Amino acid sequence: MKIKKLFIAADHAGVEMKNEVINFIKKANDFEIKDFGTSSSETSVDYPDYAKLVAEAVVTTPNSFGILICGTGFGMAIAANKINGIRATAIAKPEMAALAVEHNNINVLCLSARFIDKNTNFNIVQHVLAATFLGDRHTRRIDKITKLEE
């Protein structure tokens, strides 16, 4: 899939990292980016609300991809995966990033703002956005995941 549009959001713990990631993406890519918020770390917000916004945008917009950021990345991944058609995962190491796309065809990347430094997160984002789903035997597995949603 050729990504044309990126949807991004964070909870209060991920606001600063979200802004850094947006700036990083804009420097190296020509994606249209829609920022769903939040915009302040001063007020606590609920990450499922932001995961839902991004996940629903991804499943209804062709050639799109989502990035969600919270303290660990776990809460966003759990919430996003409740939306049919989403394959979200939290990634902590760049070495895992391309594989998540190549083998699992993820459409939402979840990042940790508290436990992963910004340069590592940038590296993860770079690897994910450059990767392509390999298809073949992986398609069969993704089809089985999709059937679990039924």
Catalytic residues: 70, 103
Residue with tokens 């964070």: 10
Cβ neighbours, 10 Å, residue 105:
19
- Give strand pairing partners of 66: 7, 108
Beta-carbon contacts of 123 under 8 Å, excluding residues fewer than 6 positions away, are 94, 97
